């Protein structure tokens, strides 16, 4: 491959990831619309369904979201009645996010979503698992390099 070909759009890993992410998010949209959630609110709820009553900071780190994105998102989830934000009695500087009854109940509506996505991906179970693992490794590698750069 010639050096100038490296700048072709189809050669860019970033573009492939971007385009794929947009297409996958499109698959989710009709299901999330029925639930009244955006994709980012959905992944936030996924994290809270796994571990409830967590500090906002830890939630942001888990989701790779900064506070400028996470705070308005949590305010909307709180206004919808799905979460409550409260100061941590052990550490006043920390705010905890806790699911409400309706927030926990919303999980039932989401149970079919992973299956619906899988059916539309056109990949085998093994291919899907390999893709997810590769993306997780890539994310962690990038995150590690970013931390190392920040420490310099």
pLDDT in tens, 63-112: 999 989 999 999 999 999 999 999 988 888 899 999 999 999 999 999 99
- Tell the burial category of 139 from Cβ atoms under 10 Å away from its Cβ (0-12, 13-18, 19+): exposed
What tens digit of pLDDT does each residue of 43-68 get? 999 999 999 999 999 999 999 999 89
| Domain boundaries along the sequence of the chain | 12-111, 121-146
* pTM recorded for the entire structure: 0.88
Q: What's the CATH fold of domain 12-111?
A: Arc Repressor Mutant, subunit A (1.10.10)
Closest CA to 41 of 143, 89, 93, 109: 109
As given in the structure block, the two tokens for residue 63 are 């989701």
Cα 28–chain centre separation: 12
Alpha helices in 51-85 (DSSP H): 56-63, 67-79
């Amino acid at each position: 491959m010639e050096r100038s070909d490296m700048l072709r759009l189809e050669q860019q890993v970033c573009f492939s990831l971007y385009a794929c992410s947009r297409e996958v998010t499109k698959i989710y949209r009709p299901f999330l619309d029925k639930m009244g959630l955006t994709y980012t609110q959905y992944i936030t709820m996924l994290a809270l369904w796994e571990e409830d009553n967590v500090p906002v900071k830890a939630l942001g780190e888990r989701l790779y979201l900064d506070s400028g994105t996470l705070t308005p998102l949590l305010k909307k989830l709180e206004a919808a009645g799905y979460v409550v934000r409260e100061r941590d009695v052990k550490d006043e500087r920390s705010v905890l996010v806790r699911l409400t009854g309706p927030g926990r109940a919303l999980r039932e509506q989401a149970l079919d979503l992973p299956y619906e996505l899988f059916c539309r991906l056109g990949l085998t179970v093994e291919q899907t698992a390999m893709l997810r693992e590769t993306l997780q490794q890539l994310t962690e590698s990038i995150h590690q390099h970013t931390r190392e750069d920040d420490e310099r």
